[in-house]
Amino acid sequence: MSSSYKNRDLYAQFLREMIIQPGIAKANLGVSREDVTLEDHPLNPNPDSRWNTYFKDNEVLLQIDKDVRRLYPDMAFFQRPTDFPCQLILDPENEYETLRRRVEQTTLKAQTVNRNRSGVTNVSSPGKALNLYPSNEYEVLPNGCEAHWEVVERILFIYAKLNPGIAYVQGMNEIVGPIYYTFATDPSSQWKEHAEADTFFCFTSLMSENRDNFIKSLDDSQCGITFKMESVFSKLKEKDTELYLKLQEQNIKPQYFTFRWLTLLLSQEFLLPDVIRIWDSLFSDQERFEFLIPVCCAMLTLIRDQLLAGDFTINMRLLQDYPISDVHAILIKAKELQDGL
């Protein structure tokens, strides 16, 4: 059996263990209450309590849900139903609390929790939670259907459960989106059908190389995001001293814009087809994510005339809403910078 078939079977096992079985236990609670014992009950403060885990998972799930519903809002794709909804999840034989139901219940009962990249938790009032998604475009589909964003939500929830050290951090949704889109729009229905499981393992592999960007305690280490941001400016200083000095003079620090560029692999700077084109070059390059440094440097040098002429406000606007859409020109320039031309 090939590794892809084994991985798909393994992913089905993850779904059973981490979504279906806990969901069945929760659903049965209202019938038999056999899961509530003197030792373990919903108010049990013990950190090892199954209920404590359940409620902590719900906090993570709410943040994932909030982020994936607005994934690539300029495209209708993620709001559309998938042609291959997960039969294991939708099996009518399994009477259990689905992720969709968990979100609905938690949104009604609990406060909305928002954990940003800095680890700061923002809590809004339960009243606001009722109007969390007022727009009709975010309404869930009828039973038996799943939107593509719901599939992405499940992938990220399973990843968070399997990787408690990092769990889920805002921005991971932007990394998994292009991978899932590539599988789910493949011309072959054989690939489309298994987009969820295949995306999960590709995302896991990608995160194994890129996860240090999401771990705040590593920010200032040589593998952390701060070192990478400074590398962009070091490369710029070497290749275009005049532009480097201009940014320094205006006190435009690399973290003001390269943090997002590097952490999210430029997925927020370009349209999705262009992001996929950039990723093709990143993934095929021998130096992998090291190539991202010259790509970012190329993005700066290609708008050097505008940056040299602009003041702080104009330049920050340029860097946070990058004006060039020709990624081919950016990649050619990046290759020149990488090769020392």
Domain ranges across the chain: 1-214, 216-339
Provide the pLDDT for residue 48.
56
This prediction has a pTM of: 0.83
Predicted confidence (pLDDT) per residue in 177-198, tens digit: 999 999 999 999 999 999 999 9
Provide the pLDDT for residue 6.
92
Nearest to 294 by CA among 251, 257, 258: 258
Provide the pLDDT for residue 221.
64
Provide the pLDDT for residue 51.
63
Please say if the pLDDT value at position 281 is more than 90. Answer: yes
Q: Chain-wide mean pLDDT for the chain?
A: 84
Cα–Cα distance measured from residue 147 to residue 78, given in angstroms and rounded to the nearest whole number? 6
Band the pLDDT of 325: cuts 50, 70, 90: very high
Tokens standing for 201?
């393992």
Provide the pLDDT for residue 121.
47
Residue ranges of alpha helices (H) inside the chain are 3-15, 21-29, 50-69, 87-90, 99-109, 126-129, 148-162, 172-184, 189-193, 195-210, 225-239, 241-249, 258-263, 272-284, 292-301, 304-309, 312-320, 327-338
Predicted confidence (pLDDT) per residue in 87-145, tens digit: 888 877 777 778 888 888 777 654 444 555 554 444 443 333 334 444 444 566 777 88
Nearest to 89 by CA among 40, 144, 129, 166: 144
Predicted confidence (pLDDT) per residue in 30-55, tens digit: 544 444 444 455 555 555 566 677 78
Question: Are 216 and 204 contacting, i.e. CB atoms less than 8 angstroms apart?
Answer: no
Provide the pLDDT for residue 250.
97
Q: Which H or E run includes 113?
A: strand 112-115
216-339: in CATH 1.10.472.80:
yes
Q: Which H or E run includes 115?
A: strand 112-115
The pLDDT of 260-271, averaged and rounded, is 95
Cα–Cα distance measured from residue 173 to residue 152, given in angstroms and rounded to the nearest whole number? 8
In this structure, of 248-252, 254-258, 285-289, the range with the lowest mean pLDDT score is: 285-289
Please say if the pLDDT value at position 224 is more than 80. Answer: no
